[in-house]
Amino acid sequence: MTWKNGVAARLLAAGLFAVGVFAGVWPAQAQLEPPAPVGSWIAATGVMPAQVGLIALPVAGGASLIEWNAARALNPASTIKLLSTYVALTTLGPDHRWVTSAHLDGPLTQGVLEGNLILRGGGDPKLVVEDLTEFIRRMRAAGLRDIRGDLVIDDALFDLRAEPGAPLDGDASQPYNVAPHAALMNFKSVRIVVRPAGDKAVVALDPPLADVRLVNELAVHTGACQPGSLALWVRDGGVTATAAGGAIATIRVGGKYFPSCGEQGIYAAVLPHREFIHGFFKAAWQAAGGSLRGKTRIEAGASSRLPSWQQWVSPRTLSDVTHDINKFSNNVMTRQVLLAAAATPAEPGSPQRMREMVRQWLDNRGLRFPELVIDNGSGLSREERISAAHLGQLLVHAAAGAHGDLFRVTLPQVGIDGTMRGRLQRHPVAGRAWIKTGSLRDVKSIAGYVDAASGRRYAVVMIINAEKILGAQPAQDTFLRWVYDNG
């Protein structure tokens, strides 16, 4: 299997950008008993009533159909992506495309660049191997073969100095933990492929990365392949200087492997952005018949004094990207989109500017959400908070806007696709509800739209925050069925 055939689709469909990490325990608080039928829904989750907030609001206006604890600020997990993507759609426009530009810092003569090739990152959230391959083909067709200098990455579009250094759950190898970058490539992720070789195992990267050494520390076991036999781990082994002045990055692969299982693999995001971009670009450049003599370095503003030589315009619009984000809950794409919406010609996109931009966006529309806490906008956070009432209000506002229908269909359609594909397939609500899901270790949430049997459309939200949540999905499905039947 190669990444040149649907890599992004495989990553997204595999759910590699979901995460289950600790989000903080909500203590129970004394409140009135929830009304029927809410009490039975909550009882099915195994949590206290104070740990649940829910609401169903008619998008045409009017009082809620049903609600409970709707004003309480709760951790929404990935349902906060609804706020993030709607802000981006209305700020950048659904037809927005990202541009990555190449600049020559030196003369190009007979295929030889006596200087550096500079790539200015445009914040593209989905510049995958197919895109880079075509961009390189165009650069090769324009006459560039041998880069005698360095590959320089201009990352001035984003200022990420305030980004936390460690991933939320401590596992930097997981693709859902990838941090944003102005020149993000291939989600900074590769597939670690393990194949049998007699009674041993060989390891490879898909796509290949140049100047990367794979250290095989697998424990190979005999016997029949069993479900769950694969137990790989992947770690960053650091960078080693070479005698020629270059550098070799190391990826260590270990764990348990049964050759009887055949080819196996996992997706991983081990290397830092600079090392990954170097290996990813250089391998693709060499595969196209080119050579890169120097190293890869990051230099903000390196392209500012140079004209653009070649450009890669993303084949995907923001509308397309929003589909991927909401249907498959992609964290790093969400963060890329929000940072791009916050960036201006005078000021780079930064976490603080992004938060200020979201607040200003809400204020300009008369949406007052005083309890709202925006951390990174993806839901991969212990800090983010919003109430069910205000998330529902946002959905009502979006439904009335110019992009209402476009936004709604980016959500997973119940029983049809995305993270709701396997749910409620035998109930009439299947195909008539569009629901974003959210999940952390102690958060289970849903938010979106339901077209009731009556023909009325409702914005629905149900958020559960508790240390142990036993029956969240059945309870949330029951809520959706009830809105369909009674709305």
Residue 116 in this model has a pLDDT that exceeds 80: yes
Residue 397 in this model has a pLDDT that exceeds 50: yes
What residue type is assigned to position 374 of the chain? I
Is 462 in contact with 37 (CB distance < 8 Å)? no
Residue 253 CA: distances (Å) to CA of 213, 219, 227, 265: 11, 10, 20, 11
Residue 334 CA: distances (Å) to CA of 88, 134, 325, 402: 9, 25, 6, 21
Helix-helix angle 129-141:273-287, to 10 degrees:
50
Q: Which of 54-68, 235-249, 354-368 has the lowest mean pLDDT?
A: 235-249
User: What's the average model confidence in pLDDT over 312-317?
Assistant: 98
3-state helix, strand, coil split of the chain in percent (to 5) is 30, 25, 45
DSSP state of 13: H
Residue 406 in this model has a pLDDT that exceeds 50: yes
Q: Is 316 helix (H, G, I), strand (E, B) or coil?
A: coil
Sequence-distant contacts of 214-220: CB under 8 A, at least 24 apart:
214/250, 214/251, 214/253, 215/250, 215/251, 215/252, 215/253, 216/253, 217/252, 217/253, 217/254, 218/194, 218/253, 218/254, 218/255, 218/256, 218/257, 219/254, 219/255, 219/256, 219/257, 220/257, 220/258, 220/259
Residue 181 in this model has a pLDDT that exceeds 60: yes
Is 126 in contact with 316 (CB distance < 8 Å)? yes
Q: How confident is the model at residue 35 (pLDDT cuts 50, 70, 90)?
A: confident
Per-residue confidence (pLDDT) for residue 82, from 0 to 100: 98
CA dist 430 and 481 (Å) reads 10
Can you name the CATH fold of 8-95+318-486?
Answer: Beta-lactamase (3.40.710)
With 0-12 / 13-18 / 19 or more C-beta atoms within 10 angstroms meaning exposed / middle / buried, residue 29 is: exposed
What six digits make up the tokens of 142? 């324009």
Name the most confidently modeled range: 28-32, 216-220, 279-283.
279-283
Per-residue confidence (pLDDT) for residue 338, from 0 to 100: 98
- DSSP bridge pairs for 462: 54, 446
User: What's the average model confidence in pLDDT over 2-26?
Assistant: 41
What residue type is assigned to position 408 of the chain? R
Q: Is 263 helix (H, G, I), strand (E, B) or coil?
A: coil
Task: Give the contacts of 368 (CB within 8 A, at least 6 positions apart).
Answer: 362
Cα angle 170, 446, 67 (rounded to 5 degrees) comes to 130
Q: Is 215 helix (H, G, I), strand (E, B) or coil?
A: strand
CA dist 363 and 198 (Å) reads 64
Per-residue confidence (pLDDT) for residue 16, from 0 to 100: 43
Q: How far is CA 338 from the centre of its chain?
A: 12
Mean of per-residue pLDDT scores for the chain: 92
Place of tokens 């041998």: 146
Residue 5 in this model has a pLDDT that exceeds 70: no
Q: How confident is the model at residue 167 (pLDDT cuts 50, 70, 90)?
A: confident
Q: Of 388, 424, 399, 370, whose CA–CA distance to 66 is shortest?
A: 388
Give 99-186+274-313's CATH code, choosing from 3.50.80.20, 3.30.70.141, 3.40.50.300, 2.60.260.20: 3.50.80.20
What six digits make up the tokens of 210? 């140049």
Residue 42 in this model has a pLDDT that exceeds 90: yes
- pLDDT, tens digit (0-9, with 9 covering 90-100), for 216-267: 999 998 888 877 777 888 988 888 866 556 789 999 999 989 999 899 889 9
Domain regions of the chain by residue span: 8-95+318-486, 99-186+274-313, 190-268
Task: Give the contacts of 460 (CB within 8 A, at least 6 positions apart).
Answer: 54, 55, 56, 57, 392, 433, 435, 446, 447, 448, 449, 450, 479, 480, 483
What is the total residue count of the chain? 487
DSSP of 384-432:
-BEEHHHHHHHHHHHHHSTTHHHHHTTSPBTTTSGGGTTSSTTSTTTTS
Per-residue confidence (pLDDT) for residue 245, from 0 to 100: 61
Query: Phi then psi for 184, rounded to 5 degrees?
Result: -55, 130
Q: Of 251, 135, 147, whose CA–CA distance to 183 is shortest?
A: 135
Q: How many CB atoms lie within 10 A of CB 282?
A: 22
Per-residue confidence (pLDDT) for residue 112, from 0 to 100: 98
CA distance from start to end of the chain? 47
Q: Is 50 helix (H, G, I), strand (E, B) or coil?
A: helix
Residue 67 in this model has a pLDDT that exceeds 90: yes
Q: What percent of the chain has pLDDT over 90?
A: 82
